[in-house]
Amino acid sequence: MNSQPLRRRLAFFGSPAWAVPVLEALHRHHEVVLVVTQPDKPAGRGLQITPCPVAAWAEARGLRVEKPARLRKNPEFLALFKSLGLEVAVTAAYGKILPAELLEVPRFGFLNLHPSDLPNYRGPAPVQWTLINGDAETAVCIMQTDVGMDTGPVVARWRTPIGPDETALELADRLRDKGIELLLDALAHLEYLQPTPQPPEGTHAPMLQKDDGRIVWERTAQAIYNRHRGVLPWPGSWFEHQGKRVKVIKMSRVEARGAGAESLEGQAPGTVVRVAEYLEVATGQGSLRLEEVQPEGKKPMPAVDWARGARLQPGHRLG
């Protein structure tokens, strides 16, 4: 009969909804004695102080939750952390760099689930920038956390092709789910892990800003589409027309132009090519099909309905 896997005594650091399934798996297989999240923040229309998704999940199940505003120079939290007799700690989208005095506490240190092919895309938005840059392949890594930003040695890695239409939401969830498998395996073999150091050089994946979603029609259709996949769900793709912002909820590439199709020759980027069952717009190279949009202050609607309401015709410029 096979022996039961070791149940590790551990702490979990994470905050957004994306990290909840990681905590759920750890809670199912191990002894989670502490959950650490970002502090509660105002949310919703009423701006009520609300716990982050990880905190809400943990509190509902009676797990101990701490929400320190800072980790550095926090002797009370450090003393608590040292008192727990931890074998290991796990992080997944926690949102803060951990100080050295904390990293040294668990017997086997910290493990971090990071959805990129390290050392590429260190930082808070790895999946988004992987898609924006048009990469054909990515990975999820389990790394030992050090004092840098995603610079620690890697103990497990799984590479995968990226689907041509895969969005940041879809890819992030797929990498996380495989990462949970890698993480559970690493926890089962903590005493025998063989970390591979990362090279010091790597690429950075900074937090997205609202302007990262702006559609620059002078880019190629493929580049705009890649960015659209990467900025879902936030900040989303958008452009301005007659001084108002229009968010593009759904777009697709125009793969090939058949016989009788409108010519793109001489069409400036941002020019309306077609207003029919969809809204086609010229780019720096090729064209895009806008299928669903949300004008400022209105509900989502078919792009062609918005275009007709705005009296757009082929040859008109968006902007």
pLDDT at 249: 98
- Please, are residues 308 and 317 in contact by the beta-carbon 8 Å criterion? no
pLDDT at 1: 43
- Left, alpha or beta for 168 (phi > 0: left; psi -120 to 50: alpha)? alpha
For 75-127, the pLDDT digits (tens) are 999 999 999 999 999 999 998 999 999 999 999 999 999 999 999 999 999 99
Kindly report the average pLDDT of the chain as a whole number. 95
Of 170, 123, 178, which is closest to residue 148 (Cα–Cα)?
123
pLDDT at 3: 56
* pLDDT > 90 fraction of the chain, expressed in percent and rounded: 90
Report the b/e string of 32-67 with b at 16+ CB within 10 A. bebbbbbeeeeeeeeeeeebbbbbebbeeeebebbe
pLDDT at 257: 59
pLDDT at residue 199 tops 50? yes
**Residue 56 to residues 23, 52, 176, 267: CA-CA distances in angstroms?**
12, 6, 20, 52
What mean pLDDT do residues 171-184 have? Answer: 98
| Cis peptide bond upstream of 75, omega within 30 | no
- Please, are residues 41 and 55 in contact by the beta-carbon 8 Å criterion? no
Distance from C-alpha of 238 to C-alpha of 236, rounded to nearest angstrom: 6
Please name the fold of domain 9-192.
Rossmann fold (3.40.50)
Of 257, 258, 208, which is closest to residue 233 (Cα–Cα)?
208
What mean pLDDT do residues 195-219 have? Answer: 97
pLDDT at 256: 66
For residue 42, name the pLDDT band (cuts at 50, 70, 90). confident
pLDDT at residue 7 tops 50? yes
- Left, alpha or beta for 151 (phi > 0: left; psi -120 to 50: alpha)? alpha
What mean pLDDT do residues 68-80 have? Answer: 96
Q: Strand, coil or helix: what is 41?
A: strand
For 248-263, the pLDDT digits (tens) are 999 999 986 554 456 6
Of 69, 168, 71, which is closest to residue 116 (Cα–Cα)?
168
pLDDT at 291: 97
Distance from C-alpha of 252 to C-alpha of 230, rounded to nearest angstrom: 14
pLDDT at residue 43 tops 90? no
For 133-177, the pLDDT digits (tens) are 999 999 999 999 999 999 999 999 999 999 999 999 999 999 999
pLDDT at 46: 79
For residue 157, give every residue at least 6 positions away whose Cβ sits within 8 Å of its Cβ, in sequence order, or none: 117, 118, 139, 140, 141, 142, 182
Each domain of the chain, given as residue ranges in start order, spans 9-192, 210-255+263-309
Q: Is 0.75 topped by the overall pTM? A: yes
Q: What is the separation, in whole angstroms, between the first and last Cα of the chain?
A: 69
The CATH superfamily label for domain 210-255+263-309 reads Formyl transferase, C-terminal domain (3.10.25.10)
pLDDT at residue 191 tops 70? yes
